[in-house]
Amino acid sequence: MRALIIDDERLARTELRRLLSQHPEVEIVGEAQNATEARRAIDDVEPDILFLDVQMPGETGFDLLASLESVPLVVFTTAYDEYALRAFEVSALDYLIKPIDPTRLASTMERLLVTWRAGARDRLSEEPGTDRASAPLSPHDRVFVTEGERSWLVELGSIRLFESDGSYTRVFFGQEKPLINRSLNQLEARLDERVFFRANRSQIINLKAVRDIHPWFGGRLMAELEGGREVTLSRRRARVFRELMSV
Amino acid sequence: MSLYWKCQIAGWSFYGLLSAGIPTLYGGMRWTVALRAVLGIAIGLLLTEQLRRFMLRRGWPWLPLSRLAPRVVLAAAVVAALMVLILLPLLLINITAASRAGPLTTIFAIHLIFVLGWILLYLGYHYLRRVHLAEAETLRLELAMRETELSALRAQLNPHFLFNSLNSLRALITEDPTRAQQSVTGLAALLRHTLQLSRARSTTVKDELEATNHYLELESLRFERRLHYEIDSDPRALGFAVPPMLIQQLVENAIKHGIARLPEGGSVRIAVWRSPGDLHIRVTNAGTLADAPVRKGIGLPNSLSRLRLMFGERVSFQLRQLEPNEVACDVVVPIATARSEHSVSRPSSSVP
């Protein structure tokens, strides 16, 4: 498991590195002291896991995650702001309180290894030799979404619908529909088209979330999504959809 | 309807009842008697309303008793005399010409007592209300002070800072044991100084600067090259009393809203000096005010209210952009107050 340590404090990075040296399953592939450095390092070394300090000068750890196309496993490290983490809707989020207790670190690592191994199997099924950075995002990739005080770490596969909203995109999952800071076109370019289908100019649907689909007037199609939402496939897209399905 | 008008109507109705009732008992009901009563009520209402405005304009409710008493008697006499004079034509009809002087004196006396009673009731009500408000004000101030003390206790050392320091120390133990030892001593001294806040309400500039220095040394573990600092103190300023953790909190704010937001860091300068009349504390830091939301930090308003509690309203406190990339926080305490006050004094409450 390849890890990147992100913390503005050198001593904190040193301490975490020392603690992680007890865990041979983790290989530290880099360090970063702010969000900008971290982004560069993530592109370069493609870590499986981030150890991320919440409070950093300039962009916070949350800002960093929100700017990533796909979020690897994340363990937040924090001195005293569990309150910031409580805003999370994802209860499974891991965090370590500084100074870090080695026992607590060990149990966190154990849990993470299980998650990571499950993810690794999926990655093995991908075509070999593909560059992760340009390969389409799989339904298992996660995006970090914040709206107001709330944040979510969402698996793409659990998103039913992407809807264009100006230069932003509204994503629908569970009972939520927050905005993410990317245009629908940007997203479409990175999404796996076998799962995420452009229905019309302003919507992308998750084909796995389609409950029913039936012909609509003018050669269009009407898809009914889980949760009851109905989306019209434009005439042009309906044709593509039919071709796709007839294969 | 206000309480004042309710009392006015009740009181003057009582007056009307008396002035119609008594002559009726003696000489039977006559239209002049009824007219006199109604007219009396109207004049009474009108005159006392004017009197009320006059008293309020002249600030009678706030006069000391010695100056108030003669004014009240005179005012009552004037109002009573006016009433009797206006009612005179009607009164004369009912009084036989032979014995005019006697009954007229009695009627004036009755009016005098009535008006005097009116004034006393009015001023008495004012007085009681004022006492009540002053009590509430005192309670409110006491509460505010206690709350400030409590939040001061809570906010004395930012837990975020404390745990980050401990984390840095943990790393330092293997990396630089000597420095780790020094840092533990520094942290201990800072904690000890902090605990003073619960016992002493003031400390000296000298002790406070020492604690601030320990604080900055510990923050340097965290910020390393990103934090530069210098402390510049006037030996003549060192003996003055200040609230514990005042300078430390100013510096903490300078770091939190200034240095911590700058990826490349910057410097914090602390200067304490005295001018002929004042004690000056200035903390400058790199950064801009625009990205320093003051409301977020509890430290700043906390220090300010403790300063106010200690030195009264004459303390000046200013946060401003000194240079395009430098923020200054200035605290000026008049030396007269700084010297004499060694414990918290409550600002005197004044009721308008």
Residue A106 has pLDDT above 90, yes or no: yes
Q: Regarding beta strands B227-233 and B266-274, do their DSSP bridges make them parallel or antiparallel, or are they unpaired?
A: parallel
Q: What is the pLDDT of residue A134?
A: 63
Q: CA A204 to CA A212: how far, in whole Å?
A: 16
Q: Please answer whether residues B221 and B183 qualify as being in contact, where contact means their C-beta atoms are separated by less than 8 angstroms.
A: yes
Question: SS3 for A134?
Answer: coil
Structure pTM? 0.65
Return the CA Rg of chain B: 35
Q: What is the pLDDT of residues A22-41, one digit of tens each?
A: 999 999 999 999 999 999 99
Cis peptide before B70 (omega within 30 of 0): no
Q: CA B22 to CA B324: how far, in whole Å?
A: 86
Q: Please answer whether residues B144 and B288 qualify as being in contact, where contact means their C-beta atoms are separated by less than 8 angstroms.
A: no
Given pLDDT bands bounded at 50, 70 and 90, which one contains residue B180? very high
Q: Please answer whether residues A77 and A96 qualify as being in contact, where contact means their C-beta atoms are separated by less than 8 angstroms.
A: yes
Q: CA B195 to CA A165: how far, in whole Å?
A: 54
The mean pLDDT value for B307-311 works out to 73
Among B170, B171, B262, beta carbon nearest to A57: B262
Q: CA B98 to CA B116: how far, in whole Å?
A: 30
The mean pLDDT value for A114-133 works out to 66
Residue A91 has pLDDT above 60, yes or no: no
Q: Which residue has the higher pLDDT, A18 or A181?
A: A18
The number of angstroms, rounded, from the C-alpha of B350 to the middle of its chain's C-alpha atoms is: 8
**Contact yes or no for B164 and A34 at CB 8 A:** no
**Contact yes or no for A15 and B261 at CB 8 A:** no
Given pLDDT bands bounded at 50, 70 and 90, which one contains residue A225? very high
Given pLDDT bands bounded at 50, 70 and 90, which one contains residue B31? confident
The mean pLDDT value for B161-185 works out to 93
Q: Which residue has the higher pLDDT, B20 or B79?
A: B79
Q: What is the pLDDT of residue B100?
A: 59
Q: Which residues of A touch B164 (CB under 8 A)?
A: 9, 12, 79-80, 98
Q: Which residues of B touch A80 (CB under 8 A)?
A: 159-160, 162-164
Q: Please count the residue pairs, one from chain A and one from chain B, whose beta carbons lie less than 8 angstroms apart.
A: 61
Q: What is the pLDDT of residue B185?
A: 95
Nearest CA in chain B to A53: B164
Q: How close does chain B come to A117, measured CA to CA in Å?
A: 31
Q: What is the pLDDT of residue A100?
A: 92
Q: Regarding beta strands B326-334 and A150-155, do their DSSP bridges make them parallel or antiparallel, or are they unpaired?
A: unpaired
Q: What is the pLDDT of residue B206?
A: 94
Given pLDDT bands bounded at 50, 70 and 90, which one contains residue B94? low
Q: How close does chain A come to B162, measured CA to CA in Å?
A: 8
**Contact yes or no for B170 and A9 at CB 8 A:** no
Q: Which residues pair with B231 in a beta bridge?
A: B270
Q: Which residues of A touch B221 (CB under 8 A)?
A: 11
Q: How close does chain B come to A98, measured CA to CA in Å?
A: 6
Query: Which range has the top average pLDDT, A47-56, A130-139, B29-38?
Result: A47-56
**Contact yes or no for B163 and A9 at CB 8 A:** no
Given pLDDT bands bounded at 50, 70 and 90, which one contains residue A247? low
Q: How close does chain A come to B271, measured CA to CA in Å?
A: 26
Residue B147 has pLDDT above 80, yes or no: no
Query: Which range has the top average pLDDT, A91-100, A124-133, A191-200?
Result: A191-200
Query: Which range has the top average pLDDT, A96-100, A198-202, B246-250?
Result: A198-202
**Contact yes or no for B221 and A97 at CB 8 A:** no
Q: Which residues of A touch B (CB under 8 A)?
A: 9-12, 14-15, 18, 34, 36, 55, 57-58, 79-81, 97-100
**Contact yes or no for A57 and B175 at CB 8 A:** no
Q: What is the pLDDT of residue A84?
A: 59
User: Comparing A145-149, B8-12, B193-197, B331-335, which segment has the lowest mean pLDDT?
Assistant: B193-197
End-to-end, the C-alpha distance of chain A in Å comes to 39
**Contact yes or no for B164 and A79 at CB 8 A:** yes
Question: Would you tell me how many other CB atoms lie within 10 Å of the CB of residue B140?
Answer: 11
Residue B65 CB partners (closer than 8 Å, separation 6+): none
Residue A120 has pLDDT above 90, yes or no: no
Q: What is the pLDDT of residue A107?
A: 92
